[in-house]
Amino acid sequence: MHPILNIAVKAARRAGQIINRASLDLDQIKVGVKQQNDFVTEVDRAAEAAIIDIIREAYPEHGILAEESGATGDSEYQWIIDPLDGTTNFIHGFPQYAVSIALAQRGMVIHGVVFDPSRNELFTASKGAGAYLNEKRIRVSRRAKLEEALLGTGFPYRAFEHVDAYLAIMKDMMRKTAGLRRPGSASLDLAYVACGRLDGFWEFGLAPWDMAAGALMITEAGGLVGDLSGEAAHMDTGNVIAGNPKIFAQLLQAIAPHLTATLKA
């Protein structure tokens, strides 16, 4: 494992310990609201602080973009951190949440970790070196037809301007696929595409820290990730489609008729 990836894994596991300890006594956790349906807990903040401490100790010159504390530092290297992706699930004791840590060099993600602390599943990837789940190599699924595919998605929960287009796509996908799932943690959904548990995924309005690590895992596992036109601008637009190569192409095609001018932008 690359030394930088080792640091990311150490940071993710430390955050996971904080999250697991807190999950034993959810009633004691203070919850704040950032905006409608967007929650933050003291656990998010403590996990993020632990991650940043470990990264800063190893790489003090690197920049950081973290969900709770924003962007700091000016370097060709930037760590992109979501300390607890799936906070709403966590608050409810619904065990589908993850720590997501990625490192970008000049805007290109080169290392990524997604850690599911409740299942002790560690997904890792480095550019050009493949993707792994608990040190075992993973690949995207081989399903070739959309009607056989199990897809993941994320419902709009903060911004509702695209809800009609989203519902039209969802209705279409219900008819055209084997099933849809909305587990509630985008980084974990993307990791599930990388290891073949999901055949494809789409969501609108994500932040870079939701996608950075998981998207690298998919490409390193032989899959494709793009924005709604199939281009590699998902980190900028926040709109993402992912899947194994055959499902990715069919998903793009199926979603295209439902897109509005604002969603294509």
The mean pLDDT of 109-119, rounded to a whole number, is 98
Cβ(66)–Cβ(48) below 8 Å? yes
Listed range (159-163, 230-234, 255-259) with the worst mean pLDDT = 159-163
Tell me the Ramachandran region of residue 47: left when phi exceeds 0, alpha when psi lies from -120 to 50, beta otherwise: alpha
The mean pLDDT of 227-241, rounded to a whole number, is 93
Domains of the chain and any CATH numbers = 3-137 (3.30.540.10), 146-264 (3.40.190.80)
Buried b (16+ CB within 10 A) or exposed e, 186-203: bbbbbbbbbbbbbbbbbb
Mean pLDDT of the chain: 93
3-state secondary structure of 181: strand
DSSP 38-101: EEEEHHHHHHHHHHHHHHHHH-TTSEEEETTTEEE--SSEEEEEEEEETHHHHHHT-S--EEEE
**DSSP secondary structure letter of residue 213:** H
pTM of the model: 0.95
pLDDT tens, position by position, 33-66 = 866 656 778 999 999 999 999 999 999 999 999 9
